[in-house]
Homo-oligomer: A and B are copies of this chain.
């Protein structure tokens, strides 16, 4: 999704108006990696702008989606989650917390699939179900390593240990 500033321009070009509600929602969605629901975003927005309507949140998310600025995701069957990341990417869901993480997959094209005859694939979506390991409670040391570190290549091996379970003890972030 573009920055709030660029979005403002794009909106005006389309004859749409810049309202405080939209500005706020642009800001809340920009670089938001939490994949929020409408309801969740509404709660965030309400903190900064008490009277805002849930209806407006839905409406703004819908138009951002139509403009190709965000993606929507029907994940587990609950509420739709919105994603400002419109690059080709996939997701990992923690069964415990429901958290949703972005996952990049290099070699989707190498999948060997027995597709129905005559089926033309337009795009593939992959969801990794699992859980975030409670990184061994390091006696309250450097509470750095928590959720995700920038891009660690990994070959998928569902229901079987991956390499060694030991944390990569080298390569902390600065």
Contact = CB atoms under 8 A, between A and B. Distances in A.
A105 B145 CA distance: 34
A13 interface: no
B121 A129 contact: yes
Copies in the complex: 2
A107 B110 CA distance: 8
Interface in A118-174: 118-133, 135, 145, 147-149, 151-159, 162, 167
Given A74-B74, A76-B74, A120 B130 contact: yes
A105 B113 contact: yes
Interface size, A (range): 35 or more
Q: Which of A74, A77, A80, A105 has the most CB of B within 10 A?
A: A77
Interface of A: 74-77, 80, 90, 92, 94-95, 101, 103-133, 135, 145, 147-149, 151-159, 162, 167
13 contacts: A77-B80, A90-B113, A101-B119, A106-B113, A108-B156, A111-B126, A111-B156, A113-B155, A115-B128, A117-B135, A123-B159, A124-B128, A126-B127
